[in-house]
Amino acid sequence: MYGHVEKLAQEIKKGAESVEGVEAKVFQVAETLPEEVLGKMHAPPKTDAPIITPNELTEADGLLFGFPTRFGMMPAQFKAFLDSTGGLWRTQALAGKPAGFFYSTSAQGSGQETTALTAITQLVHHGMIFVPIGYSFGAGMFEMEQVKGGSPYGAGTYAGDGSRQPSELELAQAFHQGKYFAGFAKKLKGSA
C-alpha cells in the first residue's frame, strides 16, 4: 500500500537480473479495497506495474511473491489472487516451479516469519518448490546494531506507520534474494 514491497521488489529484480541470462518482471495483484477506503488510509497511487493474471504465472521459470503482512498473514488482496489460481491447481500447472517470499511488516514481532509460514501452504497445494534464503546473506543476517527486517524465509522490511523506508541493509538483502533465487531457478531449469 505504501510502496515498501515495491522497493524490495525492484531490488530483487536487480539481483535476479545480475545473473547472466535471467530476465525478471515485477507485477502487482489487483486492489480489492474501494478508492474511498484507500483515501482514508492515505494510500498513495498505485505503481505502473502491470496487474498479473493467474495464467501469467505459468510463463515464469520461478516466482517470488512479495506482500505486506496483515495480522501475520498475506493480505486479502494477495489471497484473493491466489484463490483465483484454482484452474492452475487443478492441472498442477505450477508444480515443480521454484517460489519464495518477501514481505513488509509494521514492526518487529509483527509477523515476518509467520507471514512466510502461512503462505507456504499456497505453494504446497500447487506443488511448487519453496526456496528460502536461509542464512546465505551472511553477516547481514546477524546485524544487531540497526533495525532490520527479513529472515531465513526471505527479505523483509519494517514500515512502521508507513514513513520508514527500507534501509540499505534491507535492500541489500533483497538484492541478494533476487540473485540467489535466480541462480537456483536457472540451475533447476538447466537440469530439466
**Cell numbers at 91, concatenated:** 492441472
- Which has more pLDDT, 44 or 191? 44
Burial readout 36-52 (b: 16 or more C-beta within 10 A, e: otherwise): eeeeeeebeeeeeeeeb
Query: Does 119 score more than 90 pLDDT?
Result: yes
As a whole number of angstroms, the distance between CA 62 and CA 188 comes to: 9
Query: CA separation (Å) from 59 to 97, 126, 150, 187?
Result: 10, 15, 28, 17
Q: What is the mean pLDDT of residues 112-120?
A: 94
Residues of the chain with pLDDT > 90: what percent? 81
Query: Does 17 score more than 90 pLDDT?
Result: yes
As a whole number of angstroms, the distance between CA 61 and CA 129 comes to: 12
Backbone φ/ψ region at 78: left (φ over 0), alpha (ψ -120 to 50), beta: alpha
pLDDT at residue number 60: 97
pLDDT band with cut points at 50, 70 and 90 for residue 192:
low
**Cell numbers at 96, concatenated:** 515443480
